[in-house]
Amino acid sequence: MKVFCVAEYRFEELNPLSIELLNLANQIKGDGTAEAVVIGKDVGKYAEELAKYADKVWKVEDDSLENYTPDLYVDVLLQLAEREKPDLILIGNTAQGGEFAPYLAAKMNVPIATDVVAVDVSDGVKVSRYLMQGKLMVDLKLKSTPAVLTIRQGVFKEGPEVGGEIVDAGIKPSKESRRKFVSYIEPEVGEVDITQADIIVSVGRGIEDASNIELAEELAELLGGVVAGSRPVIDNGWLPKDRQVGISGKVVKPKLYLALGISGAFQHIMGMKDSELIIAINKDPEAPIFGVAHYGVVADLFEVVPELIEKLKEIKG
């Protein structure tokens, strides 16, 4: 089968997911081809990198493609797909891919499956994908090809080197974009990066008030860690946004995650469940956080934490 992989890059760097798409394409192509498509103004250096893993790299270049816009990406991909007739079009399941992939599938009037983690082409095209924030996995069979798949990052890391050719697709956008790229807005870098911390003392609504954050800070300092929080703590302005753990915050995997007064809503759990050691202090024995904690203390945090601080001070002398 002929498998197209749409490359993605930003700030002069190819997203490694572009190579992962080619790894998957090489796995499933059979006696067909794994072909990368790279779109932009001057994409030669990306094409060279991609060619190591592709049978062919299509360059689609034009001044108007310098910055990504979904309508022009779809416009040129439609032209190329119509001419070259790929069986599958693989796109990264990123913010960018998640935007233009459904648009492309709708314009082509073909099936789409998103956030795919496995593909089997032994009998038609079957894919596996997660639902409900990873709680459930489903297998889907696509009714027809061509089809569009968006692929989850980090799944297809291994693949062969192929050494293919680079070809100018000779395709230009057929229209002007309805969106104009203005500039990138870099996120503010906070003084603490919780994703890099080995020890996190994380506070939830159970901390009750901004003035009590001090308690967590004192404990974190004694442990050599940093303070993070659940969403209500951030929404209340008790901690800055870059300290939020969870699906709409950051994913952390510290050596120790100490959860103080956090109930354990799944939106929070998704951001910390892979921590090496999870200790939860909560006065509600039914709190879901105890479902992921390695050790649980059913108690009032305002009793336990000061005692813990005293003990640590004693130990440290």
Ligand X SMILES: Cc1cc2nc3c(=O)[nH]c(=O)nc-3n(C[C@H](O)[C@H](O)[C@H](O)COP(=O)(O)OP(=O)(O)OC[C@H]3O[C@@H](n4cnc5c(N)ncnc54)[C@H](O)[C@@H]3O)c2cc1C
Q: Which residues lie near ligand X (CB under 6 A)?
A: 204-206, 230-232, 244-249, 261-263, 265, 267-268, 271, 281-284, 287, 300-302
Nearer to ligand X, 15 or 244 (CB): 244
Distance of closest approach, residue 140 Cβ to ligand X, in angstroms: 25
CB atoms < 10 A from the CB of 267, how many? Answer: 15
Nearer to ligand X, 237 or 317 (CB): 237
Give every CB contact of residue 28 below 8 A, 6+ residues apart in sequence: 1, 3, 88, 119, 121
Distance of closest approach, residue 260 Cβ to ligand X, in angstroms: 7
What is the C-alpha to C-alpha distance for residues 288 and 233, in angstroms, rounded to an integer?
A: 18
Q: Would you state the structure tokens that stand for residue 16, as one six-digit string?
A: 């490694």
Distance of closest approach, residue 309 Cβ to ligand X, in angstroms: 15
Distance of closest approach, residue 14 Cβ to ligand X, in angstroms: 29
- DSSP state, residue 19: H
Nearer to ligand X, 166 or 265 (CB): 265
Q: Give the H/E segment covering residue 117.
A: strand 112-120
Paired with 281 in beta bridges are 260, 297
Nearer to ligand X, 40 or 296 (CB): 296
Nearer to ligand X, 52 or 283 (CB): 283
- How many CA atoms are closer than 13 Å to the CA of 155, on its beta-carbon side? 19
Q: Where are the alpha helices (DSSP H) in 164-265?
A: 213-223, 231-235
Distance of closest approach, residue 316 Cβ to ligand X, in angstroms: 25
Distance of closest approach, residue 218 Cβ to ligand X, in angstroms: 16
Nearer to ligand X, 130 or 302 (CB): 302
Give every CB contact of residue 131 below 8 A, 6+ residues apart in sequence: 137, 138
Q: Would you state the structure tokens that stand for residue 293, as one six-digit string?
A: 């904690």
Residue with the closest Cβ to ligand X? 246
- DSSP state, residue 245: B
Nearer to ligand X, 64 or 267 (CB): 267
Distance of closest approach, residue 259 Cβ to ligand X, in angstroms: 8
**What's the alpha-carbon Rg for the chain, to the nearest Å?**
24
Distance of closest approach, residue 307 Cβ to ligand X, in angstroms: 13
Give every CB contact of residue 269 below 8 A, 6+ residues apart in sequence: 246, 288, 289, 292
| Burial class of residue 261 (count of CB atoms within 10 Å of its CB; 0-12, 13-18, 19+) | buried
> Rounded to whole angstroms, what are the CA distances from 136 to 57, 115, 120, 141, 206?
36, 13, 19, 17, 30
Nearer to ligand X, 274 or 284 (CB): 284
